[in-house]
Amino acid sequence: MAGLLDKCYSYNVPDEVKRMGLYPYFRPIESKQSTEVIMNGRRVLMLGSNSYMGLTDDPRIIEAVKKAVETYGSGTAGSRFLNGTLSIHLELEQKLADFMSKEACLLFSTGFQANLGVISALVGRSDYVITDRLDHASIIDGCRLAFGKMVKFMHNDMEDLERCLKSLPMDAGKLIVVDGVFSMDGDIAKLPGIVTLARKYNSEVMSDDAHSIGVLGKTGNGTPSHFDLEEDVALVMGTFSKSLASVGGFVVGDREIIEYLKHNSRPLIFSASPPPTTVAAVSTALDIIKEEPERREKLWYNTHKMLNGFREMGYNTGLSETPIIPLLIGDMMKTFKMCKRLEEEGVFINPVVPPAVPPNESLIRVSFMATHSDAQLDFALDKFKKVGKELGIL
């Protein structure tokens, strides 16, 4: 009879890659997360971070974090529901609600928990949650926790979305949940089409703007703002671990929805609240994003420069239209080799292989910051050209 832990002791999936010296995960970084980092005592260009605004090492944020520790200590020692609500939690919630053009906001300890907590609390037994097939794992797991039924539609395919909605009872509760910017392909959700179908079929819409905050929107306030649809999207979720230089998550919406979530979301009620350091970092990052729109302009300059550079070289960048750029390689081992060779050449990138992508569709995921310089990007293009030719990709 098989024991519960037998699968752990027999697990050897990464072993071959490790034996070849190509294992690309859990690589220790010995410095601040910036445009360049220290790895094994070497300075390496960072092209694998989600710090789109380049704020994780900003002195103003570091100083705000120090002051928060001095004022509030290192943690909250409880959940928001009981003893873990600090005055700075409430201040940040109001600031985020205003920034996102919504009535109210609720903070979660992680972005993953935000999706778990919102979807599982709202989608009841007789309800339906409709998701894009490329939605983030936290959305999928939120749907699994919910008592309602999950229905998936083909990626960004409005005809397939309508087919799904048509098959559901018109009077049933329905929530369409999509990534605002898809985290691997770097393309943007077709929110105008989604909103039109939601109206037609009596559905609500939720946008996961983890990779959109700071990047899209009139003031960096996300995908609904990008399409001028703030009033048509009921809920917008975001994370702090990308443009907002910390860790955690939030959701914004009508005051009544947020009040319901405050008293019914299990991941919120039964988790310790975000520590004061996190809250102070996010609050300061939000101020900087609002006060320095040139950061977003520079991010888009860097994005267009690299998209054009990769395409001129002959790389397949897929559907990308944001600072997330996939380079489609295909073969998994070649993808691992490319990751290793680029690191040897002084460039950090992220490999994405099955099961995260379908078989023979492995890719290199590259992402950019507002703080990358032209010299750094030129250096990167030179290395991608060298390694791409060496491995027969170009």
Q: Which residues are catalytic?
A: 183, 211, 242
DSSP secondary structure of 231-270: GG-SEEEEESSSTTSS--EEEEE-HHHHHHHHHH-HHHHT
How many Cβ atoms are within 10 Å of 304's Cβ, its own excluded? 11
- Contact 180/187 with Cβ under 8 angstroms? no
* Pairing of β 149-153 and β 128-132: parallel
Nearest to 75 by CA among 279, 244, 250, 268: 279
Residue 142 in tokens = 């939120």
CA distances to 183, 237, 295, 305, 353 from 321, rounded to whole Å, are 12, 21, 18, 12, 21
CA dihedral 318, 356, 379, 294 (to 10 degrees): 70
* Strand 204-208, strand 235-239: pairing: parallel
Query: CA 11, 17, 23, 26: dihedral to nearest 10 degrees?
Result: 0
Is residue 118 within 8 Å of residue 247, measured between CB atoms?
no
Residue 80 burial (CB count, 10 A): 22
> Which residue's entry shows tokens 């979807």?
119
Assigned token pair, 173: 């509760």
Determine contact, residues 364/327, Cβ cutoff 8 Å. Answer: yes
CB neighbour class for 14 (10 Å; exposed up to 12, middle 13-18, buried from 19): exposed
Rounded Cα–Cα distance for residues 157 and 318 (Å): 16
Phi, psi (degrees; rounded to nearest 5) at 143: -65, -40
